[in-house]
Amino acid sequence: MRISILVQSDPFTTANGELALRFAQSVVHSNHDLYRVFFYKQAVSIASKHAIAPQDEMQLTEMWIDLARKSKVELIVCVAAGQRRGLVQTVLADEFEIAGLGQMVEAMIESDRTVTF
Amino acid sequence: MKSVLYLVSKKASLTANETVDMMLVSGVFEQPCSVVFIDDGVYQLFGDMMLVRTKDTSRALSALPTYGIDRLYADNQSLYERNLQFASCHLSFQTIDVSEITQLFNEHDIVVTD
């Protein structure tokens, strides 16, 4: 099954950033096709290379990067949501790409399931 | 084409505007869409009640029919609990109850929350 994920919750004030990552890892390990992960609204802050979590906390950005390298899944950050929050190409972490909302709608159309966090 | 149900449950804000942006892009892609306003989301139908410009989504919402999104619904119970009158709203929407919202969940392929 082809699955896409929309992540839009603030990773610092909700557990949804971690839940989205765990779900994405499960999709990959279950041999489903993880088509695209789209970061929107406050969730775009996950894609900043300057955001470093304390050592005793989950390194969400690093874990997303690791998943992308192993599974080749696209990690897309919304350009408008990113710019609004100061997240531009120069501060983007490895493996993340900036694109428009059309990429999310296209993912919805191309995937069998879309899951929102 | 996968159909989408947007479920709006929060008051107007900058992030609420981002949800409307996604609806508009769905419209551009001619994706079949419905929008349900529930809980505090129903406030968005009544415009700039706080006179705070950045919190107003009603202008963007009024553009939805232009993009082919004309199925707007509001939860009857949420309107009643907040004493919001259907007549004082300038946007065109249909009031529905919980059982009809459940039916909409079943009719759409994807549900996007705000």
Give the total number of structural domains in chain B.
1
Helix B14-28, helix A102-110: angle, nearest 10: 60
Minimal C-alpha gap between B87 and chain A (Å): 33
Give B42-72 pLDDT, tens digit per residue: 999 987 666 566 667 888 899 999 999 999 9
**Across the interface, do B18 and A41 touch by the CB < 8 Å criterion?**
yes
Question: Is any Cβ of chain B less than 8 angstroms from the Cβ of A80?
Answer: yes
Most B-contacting residue of A108, A110, A112, A117 (CB-CB within 10 A), to test interface: A108
Range(s) of the domain holding residue B108 = 4-113
Domains of chain A, with CATH numbers? 2-116 (3.40.1260.10)
For residue B3, give how far its alpha carbon lies from the nearest alpha carbon of chain A (Å). Answer: 8
Per-residue pLDDT tens digits for A51-73: 888 888 889 999 999 999 999 99
Q: Say which residue, A40 or B85, is predicted with more confidence.
A: A40
Cβ contacts of B110 on chain A, cutoff 8 Å: 108, 114
**In angstroms, what CA-CA distances link B34 with A109, B31, B46, B68, B71?**
15, 10, 18, 10, 5
B15-25 pLDDT tens trace: 899 999 999 99
- What pLDDT is recorded for position B49? 62
For residues B56 and B33, the model is more confident at B33
Q: For residue A41, which residues of chain B lie inside 8 Å, CB to CB?
A: 15, 18
Distance from B26 to chain A by nearest Cα, in Å? 6
Q: What contacts B55, CB < 8 A, 6 or more positions away?
A: B11, B12, B13, B14, B16, B48
pLDDT tens, residue by residue, B65-96: 999 999 999 999 999 999 988 777 878 899 99
Residue from the list A81, A102, A108 with its beta carbon closest to the beta carbon of B18: A81
Averaged pLDDT score across all residues of chain A: 95
Residues of A annotated as catalytic are 78
CATH code of the domain covering residue B85: 3.40.1260.10
Up-side HSE of residue B57: CA atoms within 13 Å toward CB? 24
What is the model's pLDDT at position B88? 75
**pTM for the structure as a whole:** 0.92
